[in-house]
Amino acid sequence: MPFQRARPIQQRLMQIILGTSSVVLLLTCTAFVGYEVLAFRRTAVRQLAVLGDIIATNSTAALAFDNPDDAREILAALRAEKHIVAACLYDKDGHLFTRYPAEAPATAFPAAPQADGYRFADGSLIGFAPVVQVKAGQRLGTLYLQSDLEAMYERLRLYGGVAVLVVAFASLVAYTLSRKLQQRISRPILALAETARAVSDRQDYAVRAVKFDEDELGLLTDAFNHMLGQIGEQNRALQLAYDDLRQTQQLIMQQERLRAVGQMASGIAHDINNAISPAALYAESLLEREPNLSPRTRENLVMIQRALDDVAQTVSRLREFYRQREPLLALAPVTVNRLVEQVVELTRARWGDLSQQRGVTIETKLDLAPGLPVILGAESEVREALINLVFNAVDAMPEGGTMSVRTRLTHRPAADGKSPAPEWVAVEIADTGPGMDEATKRRCLEPFFTTKGERGTGLGLAMVYGMVQRHGAEIEIDTAPGQGTTMRLLFPRPANDVQLPAATGAGPQPRGPLRLLVIDDDPALLQSLRQALTDDGHNVTACRGGFAGLEAFAAALQERRPFAAVITDLGMPHVDGSEVARGVKTAAPATPVFLLTGWGQHLGADGEIPPHVDRILNKPPKLRELREALATVPPPAA
């Protein structure tokens, strides 16, 4: 029952009230008794002194005439004072003259008089008073009086009884009042306890405690209710944070899986480039150096070369999945139509092959406006945004449909309504899916908002929106239930037309034969490189692995037959291309070092060229690129 649960605090309050009252009364009674003891002692001394003066004055004649009988009768008058237990007179020589009571032994009295005055000793009040002849001023003897303290003890017993009665009565009154008054304190506290229990049991932070008065407990109740409100808000915020954390955790897990897939794809891309490099070199060399090939053979070689180029392009696009995004937004000229074509090819597996495996057909229509101006942007970010939009369009058509990808140049009214309408480059990705209602359209760009259930992270369109904001672009959404969705990205046309870097020509040929060192760990690629360079008239030394290459370079220097240039692979066991370049530059700083790698295109684009490397060449290598690099080698000294 609530009363039984509240009983301990009631008992504590009553104990506090009763204990405080009892202590106060006891202290009061103690102070009163202490005062009475002090007052009694002073009064007893004063009364005994008065009595002593009277007896001493009446005893002058008995001592003056040496009359013990008169002295005995004078002392016998002390029978009226029941608390006087002993008295005696000493003559002027200090000898006991007479005593009271007469039958008391002489040993019951001091053997000789002591200093005049009254004092308490051994539970009695004793005093010595001089007996003086008034006219002559002569001291005739000394009076000794001894009084017990029974009167004080009787008074203390009386006061003690009165104190006990007062404390008992006061405790009874305090108990009665405390039973009534403690409820004013215990009731608000019990209400707070019941509210706390309800909040704890039901997790309902909307419950509030009842406020009874405007006192301190009322302030406590207000503070408690305010605290419940804050806890409720924090609980809601924590729940939202927890939900966001779970979604973020799922995103991180997906990103971690993509990172693992990207690392695997990186290794696969490197191996593919190494595998197709010899075939590409041989095919290019045959087509260039064998004019007597039959038409069918030449046609077959051209097909092989195209297939190898397609494989290389596919590998290059594959790397876009695991490339790190630039930490700072570097704007560069971007050809929108070319980028859109790349995205369509890059996502072909999603909207083409995988959809067909599920028995779903997604038709893709490209409508690219010719002559679009070049825009300024971060190509990787724009590409990633377009990939997200393509994936969203595919996901919106689980039963199949048509995805349209369009580009065009459009005009929009100026903000002030007076200036000429600025031009925008528009990229549209439309689907024939179910579309979105107005509420979904308003929230689709919010982080973590998704309509795909467990399959979605809610970050795809949020990332697209972030790219739009960083590029000063705009995004438009045309959609309605049952009418599909069109996502439109609008990029501002630069004020001054931006020109793409001019394509480089074939480049100059090397000045005669060069003595070259070629290093690679793949024997097939090493053989094809040596063959191609030898056919160009160069003197080629091929070494398998970085350690063997450095040894050959050092030996050539020692023989005073240095190499004009070094072509080395990047990824090699034990001694990689970076270490080879460092060793070559340490021994002969003027010797050019060309790094041949499957990551060459992205190393050059990201500014991550290793130190001591003069130029990066891509795998699979092209004869034109090799010749351009060797054309920069200074001629051998005469």
Same domain, 423 and 533: no
Query: Is 593 a domain residue?
Result: yes
CA–CA distance from 32 to each of 23, 29, 35, 168, 608 (Å)?
14, 5, 5, 17, 98
Same domain, 464 and 541: no
Question: What three-state secondary structure class fits 81?
Answer: coil
Query: Is 337 a domain residue?
Result: yes
Query: Is 591 a domain residue?
Result: yes
Same domain, 123 and 40: yes
d(CA 24, CA 38): 21
d(CA 82, CA 76): 12
Cβ atoms within 10 Å of 128's Cβ, excluding its own: 19
Same domain, 384 and 474: yes
Per the structure, the complete domain to which residue 430 belongs is given by 331-492
Query: ∠ at Cα 44 (40, 49), nearest 5°?
Result: 155
E strand intervals along 79-198: 84-91, 96-100, 117-121, 124-133, 138-148
Per-residue model confidence as pLDDT tens digits over 227-245: 877 887 888 888 888 887 8
Among the candidates 143, 160, 177, a domain finishes at 177
User: In 396-459, which residue ranges form alpha helices assigned H by DSSP?
Assistant: 438-443
Structure tokens at 511: 């000045």
**Parallel/antiparallel/unpaired status of strands 565-569 and 593-597:** parallel
Q: Which helix (H) or strand (E) holds 535?
A: helix 523-535
Rg (Cα) of the chain, in Å, rounded?
58
What residues contact residue 85 under an 8 Å CB cut-off, 6+ apart? 124, 146, 147, 148
pLDDT at 327 (0 to 100): 47
What residues contact residue 111 under an 8 Å CB cut-off, 6+ apart? none
Per-residue model confidence as pLDDT tens digits over 20-35: 877 888 888 888 878 8
pTM metric for this prediction: 0.45
The CATH number of the domain holding residue 406 is: 3.30.565.10
Query: Is 338 a domain residue?
Result: yes
Cβ atoms within 10 Å of 314's Cβ, excluding its own: 14
The CATH number of the domain holding residue 567 is: 3.40.50.2300
Structure tokens at 117: 């005055």
CA–CA distance from 448 to each of 174, 241, 340, 501 (Å)?
66, 12, 27, 40
Structure tokens at 205: 């932070």
Same domain, 451 and 387: yes
Q: Are 54 and 105 in contact (CB under 8 A)?
A: no
Same domain, 476 and 534: no
pLDDT at 457 (0 to 100): 58
Same domain, 20 and 157: yes
Query: Is 219 a domain residue?
Result: no
Q: Specify the number of domains making up the chain.
A: 3
d(CA 388, CA 391): 5
**Residue 284 φ/ψ, nearest 5 degrees:** -65, -40
Q: How many residues does the chain have?
A: 638
Locate tokens 């309605």: which residue?
Answer: 480
d(CA 97, CA 363): 150
pLDDT at 104 (0 to 100): 84
Question: What three-state secondary structure class fits 487?
Answer: strand
Query: Is 251 a domain residue?
Result: no
Query: Is 535 a domain residue?
Result: yes
Same domain, 111 and 27: yes
With a cut of 50, list the residues of the chain below it in pLDDT. Answer: 1-6, 324-328, 503-507, 510, 604-607
d(CA 209, CA 194): 8
d(CA 331, CA 471): 9
Give me the DSSP letters along 200-236. Answer: HHH--TT--PPP--SSHHHHHHHHHHHHHHHHHHHHH
What residues contact residue 353 under an 8 Å CB cut-off, 6+ apart? none
Same domain, 533 and 468: no
d(CA 295, CA 243): 67
Q: Are 319 and 266 in contact (CB under 8 A)?
A: yes
Question: What three-state secondary structure class fits 543?
Answer: strand
Among the candidates 492, 526, 553, a domain finishes at 492
**Residue 525 φ/ψ, nearest 5 degrees:** -65, -40
Among the candidates 138, 159, 177, a domain finishes at 177
Cβ atoms within 10 Å of 221's Cβ, excluding its own: 22
Same domain, 152 and 24: yes
What residues contact residue 70 under an 8 Å CB cut-off, 6+ apart? 61, 62
Q: Are 411 and 462 in contact (CB under 8 A)?
A: no
Q: Chain-centre distance of CA 85, in angstroms?
A: 90
Query: ∠ at Cα 14 (8, 20), nearest 5°?
Result: 135
Same domain, 546 and 483: no
Structure tokens at 440: 């979904």
Q: Chain-centre distance of CA 383, in angstroms?
A: 35
Query: Is 192 a domain residue?
Result: no
Same domain, 77 and 134: yes
Q: Are 428 and 421 in contact (CB under 8 A)?
A: no
Question: What three-state secondary structure class fits 297?
Answer: helix
CA–CA distance from 64 to each of 128, 169, 251, 452 (Å)?
19, 62, 127, 134
